Amino acid sequence: MKKDIYSNYENFYLSDASIHPKAFNIANVAQAELRKVFGDIDERAEYHQARILKVFNKHRISQRHFTGTSGYGYGDEGRDALDLVYRDLFGGEDALVRPQWVSGTHVISDGLFALLRPEDILLSITGAPYDTLHDVVGINEAGTGSLRDWKIGYKQIELLPDGNIDINTVKDVLTDPKIKTVLIQRSMGYSTRKTLSVGNISAAVDEIKASRNDVFVIVDNCYGEFTEDEEPSMTQADLIVGSLIKNPGGGLAPTGAYAVGTVEAIALLESRLTSPGIGREVGSFPSGYGYFYQGLFMAPHTVAEALKGAVLAAKVFDELGYKVRPHWKESRSDIIQSIEFKSSKQLISFCQAIQTASPIDSFVVPYPWDMPGYDHQVIMAAGTFIQGASIELSADAPIKEPYVAYLQGGLTYAHVKLAIMKVLSVMLKEGFVQL
């Protein structure tokens, strides 16, 4: 970007914001070179914004849908209309959107328990699932109430070296009639593999259904919503789930998760959500649903801001010689940007610097700790308005080789850019980067 555009602000950045001149320059030069990429991201956001507006209008969303309910919540119009909005927007036969689900892991867990029965086998075809699901599945053999405890087996198939699903092996393994549910994790999680595109997922699901139409397919869609033109729920998959404090909550939803899928899969899930015979008919939320609707409406814009921030981070750190995934030139299917560092000290320095650039708890210094649900110590920088909201700027990493930080989110691109400049300034001062 031309220097004269920033002439009125440069002094503030370099003095009041404690940005090193070299960090300021490298970020702005990279930004100028990314205009075409940013333009493509904004076009997709406009497309999704139009889609959401159409669905809101179709279901005549009004102030009455924001009103909270108490007790059993029978006849909760806001809750029930939100289900319809997600159903139509994500292209499923049915949907459930509930604040009672506390996380993405929670709704995935409920989905697995809903679709599987004792003596069945769960097959993960994207390698090991995200760390917090290990106790759910029983991989660690220590989770009380895990699928293993209910005599549900588990198998996994690793991705091919190129990061694609090994569909030939999948079809061979599916000859086992005990396999009743297939799990696909869209995002990279704490791994170095690529995130799967909707096209990748669709092709795999088509092959699975052609081989075994009696098998359920569940897709963990966390971090992926609105990053492509379509969603996995527009494929033959039976159940697609995600967290509302990630992409679809737009930074406003205070809690919750969603599930979109077939009528059969959602019917099984709603009995797990509450109890058989009651299902979706109950479940109140006294605080009301305004933030859920407004957050969804804001989501395409917010996701676009996060994506632009991720692309900027990828370009800046790529030019500094770090291994980044995805590369800034590559298409994206989630909001996560991984950056591989050369040591644990560099990794920790990066995350701590992200925390200093946070609007909330900027004075807190994150350190690695034994976080529940993870096999290694984890460091998490997350100075967010909504606790743990991954659509807000955050960075976290397991402390193990390779030393990879996972940067995600950003309610505004301006915040992500400023954070990157602050990170570079700190790491320059500590001798970890050469600008």
Q: Which architecture characterizes domain 64-289 according to CATH?
A: 3-Layer(aba) Sandwich (3.40)
pLDDT of residue 390: 95
Q: Where are the domains of the chain?
A: 3-47+297-429, 64-289
Task: Report residue 271 CA to chain centroid gap.
Answer: 25
- 333 in helix, strand or coil? coil
Q: How far apart are CA 210 and CA 427, in angstroms?
A: 52
pTM of the entire structure?
Answer: 0.95
By DSSP bridging, strand 378-381 and strand 179-185 are unpaired
pLDDT of residue 1: 45
Per-10-residue mean pLDDT of the chain, 435 residues long, equals 57 77 94 98 98 98 97 97 98 98 98 98 96 90 85 97 97 98 93 94 98 98 98 98 98 98 98 96 97 98 98 97 96 97 95 96 94 82 95 95 96 97 94 86
pLDDT of residue 327: 97
- CATH superfamily to which 3-47+297-429 belongs: Methioning gamme-lyase, C-terminal domain (3.90.1150.60)
Please tell me if the domain spanning 3-47+297-429 has the same topology as the one spanning 64-289. no
Q: How far apart are CA 423 and CA 244, in angstroms?
A: 28
Sign, CA torsion 209/212/215/217: negative
pLDDT of residue 260: 98
Q: How far apart are CA 311 and CA 325, in angstroms?
A: 10
Distances (CA, A) of 366 to 239, 267, 382: 36, 42, 9
Q: How far apart are CA 296 and CA 292, in angstroms?
A: 6
